[in-house]
With several copies, the nearest count.
Chain A
Amino acid sequence: MTEVDQAAPARPRVKAAGPGGWLGRLGEVRHLGLVAALVLLAIVGLVTRPENFATASNLVSILALASTIGVITVGMTFVIIGGGIDLSVGALMALASVWATTLATQSYGPVVIIVCAVLVGTGAGLLNGILIAYGRMVPFIATLAMMVAGRGLAQRMSDQRTQLVQQDNSMIVSLSTTRVLGLPLLVYVFALVVLLGWLLLNRTTFGRRTYAVGGNPEAARLAGIDVRRHTLMLYALSGLCCGIAAVLIMARTTTGSSTHGDLYELDAIAAVIIGGTLLSGGRGTIIGAILGLLIFTVITNLFILNGLNTADQLIAKGAIIVAAVLLQRRTLKTPT
């Protein structure tokens, strides 16, 4: 999955140094492109729908829409930086939401529901990790199998029906309906996950080792890192995020269903990649991934505000993705 780069050699000879801290600056510059794309989209929104786009409630809506998949994106960022991929995220979220809303689980009350969702997600993620790290399966195939089986299990448990969150457990739903300082609780959950993810990735040895495991597993091994155990933990982490996302989707839709999270894997991977993470691992940032995700969310919001039909939405979306990436490239070339 190498980016072809003919005019200059493969090693990124980005103009060096200066006092600002090279890594930091690259980070900023990289994000600058994404921020520019977001700003452009916002301008489009302001021009086309001045009365709807920039309202507080619309911005809250966008954040609420982004939060479920945002939580998943955080986990996906870790997995991809660590050199893997997780196709099972959507299915795991669905499975966790179904498991947590069975009659049996619901009878124990909201806390058990949440714990159940989180445990199911983490457990399935662990299984992914075991298959990949110890069964030495290719991540793509192992998580594909998990995706297929996970959806199947979710259908089986729910008998292919949509399971409502019962009245007694409406505490779950209040995550979406209760607002603090104008924002629904689930947006805070999202923000917290992003913050913790950022800290974990950038400030802890676990995070930095993730880069090593993804960028050069052999070097990581020689440096005494237990690459297998680390890989296992990355998938467990992604599973954990799916569990949290399941709680959020239950809050938002008031249901658990085997259809939840359809194609989330693609959206999450796309957000991570557009955010500048290499699919081959070893590089990437959480902030970039979240910005990438927001771009996708804002695009959809703009389309619906403007009443585009599906066909035009798809065409425009394709064009915008291309434009955003080319814009980002341009920004990279001429940093401020």
Chain B
Amino acid sequence: MRHIVKQFPGVRALDGVDLEVRAGEVHCLLGQNGAGKSTLIKILSGAHEPDEGEVLLGGAPVRLAPPTAAMGHGIATIYQELDLVDGLSVTENIFLGHEPATFGFSRRAEADRATAALLKRLGHGEIRPRAEVGSLSPAHKQIVSMARALSHSARLIIMDEPSAALDHDEVGNLFRVIRDLTSQGVAVIYISHRLEEIREIGDRVTVLKDGRTVAVGLAAKDTPTSRIVALMTGRDVEYAFPPRPARGAHEGRPEVLRVENLTLPGRFADVSFTIRAGEIVGLAGLVGSGRSEIIEAIYGARRPGGRVVLDGRTVRPGSTTRAVRMGMGLAPEERKTQALLLDHSVAHNITLASLSRYTRPRWLGRLDRRAESAEAERLSRALDIRPPDPRRPIRTLSGGNQQKAVLGRWLAEDRKLLLLDEPTRGVDVGARTELYALVRRLADDGIGVLLVSSEVPEVLGLADRVLVIREGRIVHEAPAGDLDEHRVLDLVMVSTAENPSLEGARHD
């Protein structure tokens, strides 16, 4: 790709980008949120037409739009936003647009068989080809997306943050598949904000910043992290977790949250724990272990058995409104479907949960719009949301910046407890560091935080205390300092039957 330019209304998303990918390599694309990575790959996949520049394939210039043209050239794509059709089955999603068919009649058995084979290759034979995609978990949807890309037997596969919805184990699986592909000469463009992954799988790295290429062809394995981060952010950022308060610092502080015997049949059982003021508690577990549902249950989005006590008051289940009024806040897992009003401005998205703060007089519900936009302005600057214009529709922001706005929603009002479900999904390194600091600052101000993340280092680095969940039960609890990644992974995966010694570790 040479000197690609893509202009969106009001933004020059790509401003002369060069990219060169060789057959059989894993080419990593790095850049901050909003740097233009997704836009670039959408041009490669034919979803956008470039305003300037040309794309050469095997030396010859090609036109890639519409998407069918790109597919015709052997380019398959896994998009950042899951682009699956909920109402269709797994098979139908995978073969959408290139169904095996005779006279228009799809050959379903054949497609199902091919699907089963693809899923097995991805290590997910348990997903049934006829299952409806809408009923799958986000992680499984991601797998289906991948299977779809593989179904094209492409020369170049583009993966836009494929690992964001995956846990450690799944990522290992993914890498196995990628190595498999590259050994057959397929090129892979890989985008991720997790630098460890780049080191593990990548061959060469291209770094984007503000729509421009700032570095080409760096060696993925041995370019120092600090160099990469500096290239991405343009400054020296320390990729580190904020310091933790001393162990036991929370001992005497009041309990913000007490969960007793929380049970939702078929999902999780007998979950009990507490969070004290100023404490960050991490939930570690595999995808599908029930972490999100525990969080949603605490938040009142589900009706579990058991008891939730916030700040000494019992939370009646079944109403998020009550939960919010009592002082909880939730940053949900799927931001597009669960958190964002895509058509609305960043400002409106930020103030959504705290609207009643800007009413004067309160009984009339009249919005003081000046106060509202001032607050939105303040928060979006504090979170460094880019571009820094809170009036933009949030759908034109990059994924990571959208995530910041979701977090910002709960900063507009004083909270007692923040529930964070995968808060850094899709957030770049620089912003992550800021987010970590922010969460820690909030905790230091005296609120409790419950953190779910599929990235074990993140849980270990940020949380004070870690609960390990397996199949809907808490199997271990320990201060974060006492655990390391291997130990957590062991706990998460080994079944109790094989390792009865774990029984003792169970929290009661």
Contact = CB atoms under 8 A, between A and B. Distances in A.
Asked if chains A and B are in direct contact (CB within 8 A), the reply is yes
Interface string B394-434: 01100000000000010000000000000000000000000
Contacts of A221: 47, 66-67, 301, 320
B230 interface: no
Interface stretch (B82-90, B204-212, B488-496): B82-90
Nearest to B355: A205
B79 A215 contact: no
A119 B324 CA distance: 33
Query: Interface centre among A11, A21, A219, by most B CB within 10 Å?
Result: A219
Query: Interface centre among A6, A224, A225, by most B CB within 10 Å?
Result: A224
A221 B299 CA distance: 11
Contacts, number: 214
A260 interface: no
Contact of B325 (A6, A11, A216, A224): A224
Interface in B189-245: none
A220 B340 CA distance: 9
Interface stretch (A47-55, A61-69, A206-214, A315-323): A206-214
B99 interface: yes
B321 interface: yes
Nearest to A15: B9
Contact of B10 (A9, A18, A220, A226): A18
A228 to B, nearest CB: 9
Contact of B79 (A203, A220, A222): A222
Contact of A222 (B88, B332, B355): B332
A227 B409 CA distance: 18
Given A26-B132, A222-B47, A282 B85 contact: yes
B135 interface: yes
A269 B87 CA distance: 20
Contact of B104 (A6, A9, A206): A206
A212 B409 CA distance: 14
B337 A218 contact: yes
Contacts of B506: none
B20 interface: no
Given A209-B96, A212-B88, A22 B353 contact: no
A25 to B, nearest CB: 10
Contact of A205 (B10, B359, B409): B359
A22 B366 contact: no
Given A12-B135, A205-B355, A222-B301, A211 B325 contact: no
B324 A216 contact: no
A143 B128 CA distance: 39
Interface stretch (B50-58, B385-393, B437-445, B472-480): B385-393
Contacts of B183: none
A181 interface: no
A8 B8 CA distance: 11
B130 A21 contact: yes
Contacts of A211: 85, 87-88, 92, 341, 344, 348
Interface of B: 8-10, 45, 47, 66-68, 71, 77, 79, 83-89, 92, 96-99, 101, 104-106, 108, 128, 130-132, 134-135, 266, 296, 299, 301-303, 318-321, 323-325, 330, 332, 337-345, 348, 352-353, 355-356, 358-359, 364-367, 369, 389, 391-393, 395-396, 409
